[in-house]
Amino acid sequence: MVSYKRLNPEEVYLSGPESLAPNPDDPLDEDPKEGDAEFPLLSRRPQCSVTSALLTLGGLIVIVLGVWLLGTVVWLRNPPSTDPHRPPPPASATPGDMQETGARGQPESCSLVPEAWRFDCYPERGVVVTMEMCQARNCCFIPREVTVKPGSQRPNGVPWCFYPPEFPSYTMVSLNDTAMGYEGTLIRKQQTYYPKDIETLQLDVLYESDNRLHVKITDSADKRFEVPIDVPEVKERASSPTYTVEFQKEPFGLIVKRAQSGAVLLNTSVAPLFYADQFLQMSTSLPSPYVYGLGEHRSSFLHNIQWNTLTMWARDVPPMELTNLYGVHPFYLCMEPNGTAHGVFLLNSNAMDVVLQPAPALTWRTIGGILDFYIFMGPDPSSVIEQYLEVIGRPAMPIYWALGFHLCRWGYKSSNRTWEVVKEMRNYGIPQDVQWNDIDYMDRAMDFTFDPVNFATLPDLVKDLHRHDQRYVLMLDCGISSTQPAGSYWPYEEGLRRGVFINDSNGDTLIGKVWPGLTAYPDFSNPATHDWWYESLQKFHHRVPFDGLWIDMNEPSNFFDGSTKGCPDNELEHPPYTPGILGGILRAKTLCASARQKTSTHYNLHSLYGLMEAKASASALKRILVGKRPFIISRSTFPSQGVYSGHWLGDNKSQWKDMYTSISGMLTFNLLGIPLVGADICGFGEETTEELCVRWTQLGAFYPFSRNHNAIDEQDQDPTVFSPAARMAMKEALLLRYSLFPFLYTLFHHAHISGHTVARPLFFEFPTDQKTYGIDKQFLWGKSLLVTPVLESGVDFVVGYFPKGLWYDLYTGDSLISSGEEIKLQAPLDKINLHLREGAIVPTQRPNTTLWVSTGQPLHLISCLSAESSAEGDMFWDDGDSLDTYETGQYAYIQFRVEKNTMTSEVLHGHEEASYLTVESVSFYGVKTEPSNVTVNSQDAEFTYTTNQVLTVKDLGLNLSQNFTISWT
């Protein structure tokens, strides 16, 4: 059991009538003895004699019967509410429940709380909760028939120990109008079982926009840590909010509803509010069980709400279920029963648990900071994400080559071997834009160095890549070697001189251990560290002119628990409550929680480390690669990360299950504002098979960030090492990706300017179709391209769900009309099924082996006519690598439409970049009757028409920078 400071009786503030005060003659209220599990911090109810108990029971039976008769009459006249957002009426107590309650001195109200609405009063792990321990917290105790071995962690499920309806919480004693909304005061009159309760809280309810509500609960007396990311500063109250806010005074509760329908989105009155120094907890009902987001965890895309606890605390660990992984994203999106959606974001970086239970309800439980909530009203899921990104920041526009195919491995072992692989890819004509090296390029695993023997030709390799219009990305870890001879390693010595490293609680440089051995850790919360980081990168760039950075191990990872000196025994290292983090302690495989950084303790800043390093790295690359967009991929992430970097999903395995779960990870990070995301194609750890690698390359060709990467001592898995048939299948998949580059690049433009997703779950486009809510084996690019990969071994078909409507096979134009059903598709080893949605126009391009060459090739437009014979699409185009082209107007934007047998192309924003491209051909899928005549800009043109209703016009030579018209009769 996690230990915590016990409160002395004199520290307990008891309120209420004297008759409710503890009886000094009651043996249950004696002073605690050494070894007692706990003693009560709140007043107990006085015990009664057997006689009085019988009289009381008899009286209660009479009352209950009377109430039941009256209630039956009322119910017949007024059936109970079906509102799903509040706890249902209490269930009747069973004889077994009564034995567990009345006989043991706990309120009978305990047995009336439905199981789904029982909020855990004893969430500590590694402990078997007993009745005495539970009642010491003045909570209800009803054990379940579950066998738990002594000392083992109890399974997730209905809590045995839960809050009674009358458990004390805060009371709202004042509420005043402000220019932005409301300001209130919350008072706690009775202490909880966690130390250092904050007795007076300030509540701020801010109507920031019509679709965004901001709620902050802070200590009214003392300043507490707040997450240092940029959020909007709003000074004018929303004029027409789509939400209403109601308050429950005692116990305090906040209820947020949709203004138009009255639907309840949040109701925090369902469980008590906690706000102690190191334990903050707030619960809310949910309008449905459809919850997404809450990264980073390996799970299905749709979260399980059956007593599921998701822990957040950045951790270096290969992806596995029920474990806190590399990133922390306390944001969820919830679909509502009628197809509308809302989102909630808790801006808090401390270690936390998020508990989902089948009521449905959710509990936030964090150990520091403040309660700082944003509620986004949607009403559709895409709008929720747009509103969320208005707060945390929209993703950066990637440099064009970032969307090509990347190749890497840990274990090339030399620059010459790396070079050989690049040449093999070229010889086979397999697309590749970027070559990477893992840590083995370094001299003794030290940042800003390269092995002078095995990687002596690294600078020449990079120059060769550049001559072939390819790019080079290298890895950097955050640990800086601290053991090199004096005068031999500038990054450490200069960093020490400038004071850029994280210190321990004594003020000395904290030393941990990573790949180079003993290391110091840069403090990226310190502006001085950003300058030192830039200078270190600049010096190395002069030797190896890299194009992008891969920042790894930045949770930050540590092979020790804490430091070489250990960590102090204090409340930061051993908080009263520790969330369910892997290792059970905050310092597990990372730094001491009590370590000192420039702006706060590591206790507060830990999960921000990857974000702060990405920000420093983006700033440095902008200074080094003058005028170019920085390319960074980071392992650890936090909200607003997409402004600075992309993300890969970590050290997965070469298994079919990992391939499948990568789709959930990709979709989740698109919800979280990091659309440049992908998994290691073919798997990182263990050995792949040819079939798995082919299928994974086909899927990976549709990751927004597409990279093949594997581990040291595993077999090679780049496309060149497989059989001719497998190699050709991989090549065709990658060429297909390159042909779709104009479409993908335009999707990233919309992500950058509007906060749209790139890879998208089906329910975003079909929010009223509940069959789509749990789909995570298929996904969309944008609104229109449906990807249905094979995710199983030994099959030549795949079953995919097609929402209601008209769909077209991308390759052939064959149409498929769905009523909203699953359809079996043929899927030989050389094919991934792709379908286009009716009403879309998708720009494609003749592909080549690098995007630099591909982006100069002619365009082919695919127009997918709807049942009404209409379609629309667009295309964004710029030079591909300059900073802020949209913001400075250095771009072209073209809109395509089809109506009444006529396609029009309209240049809405012109730029010379568009003049370098021509539209060479157009295909119209779904032309119901064969035309007799086709004209292009009023001139007759040749065309073909096939029996599957595909009209194709070729040899157009139309300049993209000029409007054009294509008509048929």
Catalytic residues: 552, 555
Strands 815-818 and 785-788 come out as: unpaired
The DSSP bridge partners found for residue 509 are: 503
Contact between 719 and 733 under an 8 Å Cβ cutoff? The reply is no
According to DSSP, residue 68 is labeled: H
DSSP class per residue in 244-261: EEEEETTTTEEEEEETTT
Scored b (16 or more CB within 10 A) or e, 319-340 reads: beeebbbbbbbbbbbbbbeebb
Contact between 522 and 533 under an 8 Å Cβ cutoff? The reply is yes
Contact between 721 and 849 under an 8 Å Cβ cutoff? The reply is no
- Report whether the peptide linkage leading into residue 556 is cis, meaning its omega lies within 30 degrees of zero: yes
Strands 706-708 and 405-407 come out as: parallel
Torsion sign over Cα 824, 830, 832, 834: negative
Torsion over CA of 17, 21, 24 and 30, rounded to 10 degrees? 180
Helix, coil or strand: residue 61: helix
Contact between 603 and 593 under an 8 Å Cβ cutoff? The reply is yes
CA-wise closest residue to 914 among 881, 882, 865, 961: 961
Q: What distance in Å separates the CA atoms of residue 472 and residue 469, rounded to the nearest whole number?
A: 10
Which residues make Cβ contacts (< 8 Å) with residue 517, sequence separation at least 6? 445, 481, 483
Long-range contacts of the stretch 826-830 (C-beta < 8 A, 24+)? 826/796, 826/797, 827/790, 827/795, 827/796, 827/797, 827/798, 828/796, 829/691, 829/694, 829/695, 829/725, 829/726, 829/729, 829/796, 830/694, 830/725, 830/728, 830/729, 830/732
What angle separates helix 741-754 from helix 724-739, to the nearest 10 degrees?
50
Q: What distance in Å separates the CA atoms of residue 255 and residue 267, rounded to the nearest whole number?
A: 4
Token duo for residue 132? 């005495």
Token duo for residue 81? 């509410």
Q: What distance in Å separates the CA atoms of residue 903 and residue 967, rounded to the nearest whole number?
A: 6
Q: What distance in Å separates the CA atoms of residue 782 and residue 749, rounded to the nearest whole number?
A: 11
Q: What distance in Å separates the CA atoms of residue 245 and residue 254, rounded to the nearest whole number?
A: 7
Which residues make Cβ contacts (< 8 Å) with residue 680, sequence separation at least 6? 648, 649, 651, 652, 707, 708, 709, 710
Q: Is 287 exposed, middle or buried (0-12, 13-18, 19+ CB in 10 A)?
A: buried
According to DSSP, residue 667 is labeled: H
User: Residue holding tokens 């469980």?
Assistant: 271
